[in-house]
Amino acid sequence: MIKTAIKTKAYAANGSGQELKSFEVQRREPGPSDILIDIKFCGVCHSDLHQVHNEWGISNFPMVPGHEITGIITKIGERVTRFKPGDRVGVGCMVDSCKECKSCKDGLEQYCEKRMVLTYNDIELDGKTPTYGGYSERITVHERFVVRIPDDMPLDKAAPLLCAGITTYSPLMHWKAGPGKAVAVVGLGGLGHMAVKLANAMGASVTAISRSANKKTDAIAMGAKEYLATSDSSAIEKAQERFDLIINTVSSAADMNTYLGMLKRDGVMVLVGAPSEALPVHPFSLIPKRRSLAGSTIGGMRETQEMLDFCGKHLIAADIELIPIDKINEAYKRLLKGDVRYRFVIDIASLK
């Protein structure tokens, strides 16, 4: 099925914690159900940083990160029906799954019972071909894992929706954020700022929780009704038993008990942030108020399209800082310090 390969410029890390450098990957010519996409923009997710630094212990090198991809279709396979060349599209964190199990049939490919194939740092279902991500000129993807970008949404600001957007939209929907619900978002980075915008558009009353007071004006502009800086211990006290739902996007080890105490009776805190460390939970943070601690990963393809259409309708997109590819190593350093408002996006034209 793989005909000729297409030489593609990319940026890769050659080993754990190494700086990213110019690299070349091969993309397959589109098979019958494949789509070839000319990548225009790629967001920089904290997961890229975790994996380049091998913090989760699952990294393979050379690694071309990037799973917040937007671009234009240049070629389609003969069985592709939903898309045509010239369409504005996106690709997120996964590029394949078994497509047959109960989870895939339910539109929950991210929980595929065989396995989903991640956009990078993974192996295709053939068991041998490594996947390379969006810090590259183009990508070939099965049409099921391609979504449509709403007409009026700029491709650069849309890119972060493919991971940061869907990763927060999915738990907000699953745990029914909406009118009458008090939702808190912990961590105001790429995921957090999207969670604030989405939960507000869903009609929930949103509180942004950040470490300092620095992001207050921005958070209110994004739709937060309240802002809480955890550097202020009196603010934490006032927030006890206040929220129905907390979306926790924290990327490094933090005390979960502090946030669990902010849940009402029957409240749920959902971890989407994925630090490599264990996060100790005190039983009495959960027991007395029948609280739950949950987790969630990205979202299925149907829901990803639904999220994009929701964002199109509510005029929501990411707040971004556009960078050329040769600024990526500097961007990683800044991301580690929490110094980004609120997502770096690579202009892939700078790679060509």
Q: Rule CB under 6 A: which residues touch ligand NAP?
A: 45-47, 50, 163-164, 167, 187-192, 210-211, 215, 249-252, 254, 272-275, 297-298, 335, 338
Nearer to Zn ion, 30 or 160 (CB): 160
Distance CA 218, CA 222 (A): 6
Parallel, antiparallel or unpaired: strands 263-271 and 243-248: parallel
Give the nearer residue to ligand NAP in terms of CB position, either 1 or 213.
Answer: 213
- Give least dist CB 22 to ligand NAP, A: 24
Q: How far is the CB of 7 from ligand NAP (least distance, A)?
A: 30
**Minimum gap (Å) between residue 209 Cβ and ligand NAP:** 8
Choose between 96 and 137: whose C-beta lies nearer to ligand NAP: 96
State yes or no: residue 47 binds Zn ion (CB under 5 A).
yes
**Residue 16: CB minimum distance to ligand NAP, A:** 16
Q: Which one of ligand NAP, Zn ion, none interacts with residue 197, CB within 5 to 8 A by kind?
A: none
Please give the backbone phi and psi of residue 251, each rounded to the nearest 5 degrees, phi first: -100, -5
**Residue 194 binding Zn ion, by CB under 5 A:** no
Name the closest residue to ligand NAP (Cβ): 189
Binding Zn ion (rule: CB under 5 A), the pick from 45, 256, 316, 317 is: 45
Q: In the bound complex, what is the minimum distance in angstroms from residue 28's beta carbon to ligand NAP?
A: 26
- With CB cut-offs between 5 and 8 Å by kind, which of ligand NAP, Zn ion, none does residue 258 bind? none
SS3 labels along the chain: CCCCEEEEEEEEECCCCCCEEEEEEEEECCCCCEEEEEEEEEECCHHHHHHHCCCCCCCCCCECCCCCEEEEEEEECCCCCCCCCCCEEEECCEEECCCCCHHHHCCCHHHCCCCCEECCCCECCCCCCECCCCCECEEEEEHHHCEECCCCCCHHHHHHHHCHHHHHHHHHHHCCCCCCCEEEEECCCHHHHHHHHHHHHCCCEEEEEECCCCCHHHHHHHCCCEEEECCCHHHHHHCCCCEEEEEECCCCCCCHHHHHCCEEEEEEEEECCCCCCCCCCCHHHHCCCCCEEEECCCCCHHHHHHHHHHHHHCCCCCCEEEEEHHHHHHHHHHHHCCCCCCEEEEEHHHHC
Strand 226-229 and strand 182-186: pairing? unpaired
163 counts as binding Zn ion under rule CB under 5 A: yes
The count of chain residues that interact with Zn ion, using the rule CB under 5 A, is 3
DSSP code at position 145: G
Among ligand NAP, Zn ion, none, what does residue 246 contact (CB within 5–8 Å per kind)? none
Nearer to Zn ion, 196 or 260 (CB): 196
Q: How near is the Cβ of 160 to ligand NAP at its closest, in Å?
A: 9
> CB of 257: closest distance to ligand NAP in angstroms?
13
129 binding partner (options ligand NAP, Zn ion, none; Cβ < 5 to 8 Å by kind): none
Q: How far is the CB of 51 from Zn ion (least distance, A)?
A: 10
When the beta carbons of 40 and 291 are compared against Zn ion, the nearer one is 40
Task: Between 119 and 205, name the residue whose CB sits nearer to Zn ion.
Answer: 119
Q: Which residues bind Zn ion (CB under 5 A)?
A: 45, 47, 163
